[in-house]
């Protein structure tokens, strides 16, 4: 039996594990944070087992310390997150909620997604994620927006309907998928990650986006937004926050308040996919959380990026990219970070 400490931090339950204790990197459900005040490694509970423990511990919190014996137990239940709602040119759109059956939901602008992350730069669903069970079709709705207007996305899960039906079968669309994949937590599970870059890409659908496949070797994607390491100064030290600190990343703000991206001002009108992506760098391999929404863009622009800005998914990333190779090693890393992928297309901002 081992001694653990529990604490509530950023609305998540954490377990404090002595730093010399066993480090199990094979279990994704565990993530590590280096506490600034103690030489202790935090392991975040993402298992249902721990949710039960956490509830039990609510009673015991005053003691701030107790014995836990089932830490090694692994459930099959994971939960992560993604974009649940969009505000596009001032109009609100529900996303396609992954913890509800596809046929139980109204049409959405969002392609069906899966909160369990993608962990491979070569994953065939890296472009637009995948459903669980897999989506049987793409949405037909496109959100209207003028070039130069903005889109805000929200990672807070909505309340579940009382009598919702959760999926009962799991999809394993690829050999490297975890088995079993995520089982939805619904509204009980807010976005849990902080450390890593945020990027947004677009791809022209050249017709209805419901008939457009943006995956594979075709270089159709270009980046319109990126935010990585902020290099903000820690007032208590006068030094930049290191990469392991929440304050060093924009996720710290946007995934709770909404993340706003502006459509390039002079982009050529038409139907486009917009792909928001957060990469989680705390573990190796890194975790990719892409999500795609369908837009119908109007405006007077005529611009599209040149070949140098275009990438494919998969294909845009390599584990040799410095911004991905660093995953799992943020602690003690230097004060810089290189966001993976192509340069942001600035063309829409000229004029
Ligand atoms: Cu996660």
Distance from residue 127's CA to the centre of ligand 1 (Å): 18
Strand-strand pairing, 40-44 and 12-18: antiparallel
List pLDDT tens digits, range 104-163: 888 999 999 988 889 999 999 999 998 877 888 999 999 999 999 999 999 988 877 777
- Paired with 198 in beta bridges are 227, 278
CB count in 10 Å sphere of residue 198: 22
Say how far residue 25 (Cα) sits from the centre of its chain: 20
Q: What is the pLDDT of residue 62?
A: 34
Distance from residue 117's CA to the centre of ligand 1 (Å): 7
Distance from residue 303's CA to the centre of ligand 1 (Å): 37
Contact assessment for residue 220 and residue 229, using Cβ atoms and an 8 Å cutoff: no
Residue 33 vs residues 37, 39, 107, 198: alpha-carbon distances, Å: 12, 10, 39, 19
Distance from residue 223's CA to the centre of ligand 1 (Å): 24
Task: Pick the closest to residue 291 from 117, 30, 157 (CA basis).
Answer: 117
Distance from residue 29's CA to the centre of ligand 1 (Å): 7
Distance from residue 246's CA to the centre of ligand 1 (Å): 15
Q: What is the pLDDT of residue 176?
A: 76
Phi and psi angles of residue 79, each rounded to the nearest 5 degrees, phi first: -150, 140
Distance from residue 196's CA to the centre of ligand 1 (Å): 12
Task: For the chain, list residues with pLDDT below 70.
Answer: 1-79, 178-189, 347-351
Q: What is the pLDDT of residue 57?
A: 47
Q: What is the pLDDT of residue 163?
A: 73
Distance from residue 241's CA to the centre of ligand 1 (Å): 23
> What span, in angstroms and rounded, lies between the C-alpha atoms of 191 and 173?
24
Distance from residue 35's CA to the centre of ligand 1 (Å): 19
Token pair for 58: 């609510």
Contact assessment for residue 80 and residue 289, using Cβ atoms and an 8 Å cutoff: yes
> The tokens 């998928």 sit on which residue?
177
Distance from residue 44's CA to the centre of ligand 1 (Å): 10
Task: Pick the closest to residue 34 from 284, 246, 227 (CA basis).
Answer: 246
Taking the model in full, what pTM does it have? 0.78
Distance from residue 262's CA to the centre of ligand 1 (Å): 27
Distance from residue 122's CA to the centre of ligand 1 (Å): 19
> What span, in angstroms and rounded, lies between the C-alpha atoms of 44 and 31?
5
Say how far residue 254 (Cα) sits from the centre of its chain: 11
Task: Provide the sign of the torsion angle of the four alpha carbons 61, 66, 67, 69, taken in this order.
Answer: positive
Distance from residue 317's CA to the centre of ligand 1 (Å): 20
Distance from residue 284's CA to the centre of ligand 1 (Å): 12
Contact assessment for residue 338 and residue 243, using Cβ atoms and an 8 Å cutoff: no
Distance from residue 158's CA to the centre of ligand 1 (Å): 18
Distance from residue 197's CA to the centre of ligand 1 (Å): 14
Task: Pick the closest to residue 323 from 215, 227, 221 (CA basis).
Answer: 227
E strands, the chain, are 2-9, 12-18, 32-34, 40-44, 66-68, 85-88, 91-94, 143-146, 150-154, 198-204, 222-227, 259-262, 270-280, 287-298
């Amino acid at each position: 039996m081992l001694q653990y400490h529990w604490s509530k931090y950023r609305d998540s339950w954490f377990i404090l594990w002595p730093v010399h204790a066993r480090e199990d990197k094979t279990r994704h459900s565990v993530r590590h944070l280096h506490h600034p005040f103690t030489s202790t490694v935090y392991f975040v509970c993402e298992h249902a087992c721990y949710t039960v423990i956490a509830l039990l511990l609510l009673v015991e919190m005053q003691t701030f310390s107790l014995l836990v014996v089932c830490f090694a137990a692994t459930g099959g239940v994971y939960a992560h997150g993604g974009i649940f709602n969009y505000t596009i040119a001032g109009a609100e759109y529900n996303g396609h909620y992954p913890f509800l059956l596809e046929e139980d939901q109204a049409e959405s602008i969002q392609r069906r997604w899966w909160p369990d992350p993608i962990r491979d730069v070569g994953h065939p669903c890296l472009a637009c994620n995948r459903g669980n069970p897999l989506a049987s079709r793409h949405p037909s709705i496109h959100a209207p927006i003028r070039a130069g207007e903005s889109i805000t996305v929200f990672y807070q899960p909505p309340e579940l309907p009382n009598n919702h039906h959760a999926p009962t079968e799991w999809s394993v669309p690829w050999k490297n998928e975890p088995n079993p994949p995520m089982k939805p937590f619904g509204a009980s599970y807010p976005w849990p990650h902080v450390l890593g870059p945020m990027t947004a890409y677009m791809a022209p659908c050249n017709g209805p986006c419901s008939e457009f496949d943006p995956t594979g070797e075709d270089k159709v994607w270009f980046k319109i937004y990126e935010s990585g390491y902020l290099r903000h100064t820690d007032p208590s030290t006068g030094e930049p926050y290191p990469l392991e600190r929440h304050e060093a990343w924009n996720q710290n703000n946007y995934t709770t308040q909404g993340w706003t991206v502006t459509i390039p001002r002079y982009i050529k009108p038409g139907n486009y996919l917009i792909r928001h992506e957060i990469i989680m760098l705390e573990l190796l391999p890194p975790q990719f959380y892409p999500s795609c929404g369908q837009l119908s863009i109007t405006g007077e622009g005529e611009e599209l990026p040149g070949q140098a800005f275009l990438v494919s998914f998969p294909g845009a990333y390599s584990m040799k990219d410095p911004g991905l190779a660093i995953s799992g090693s943020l602690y003690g890393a230097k004060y810089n970070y290189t966001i993976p992928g192509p340069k942001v297309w600035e063309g829409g901002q000229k004029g």
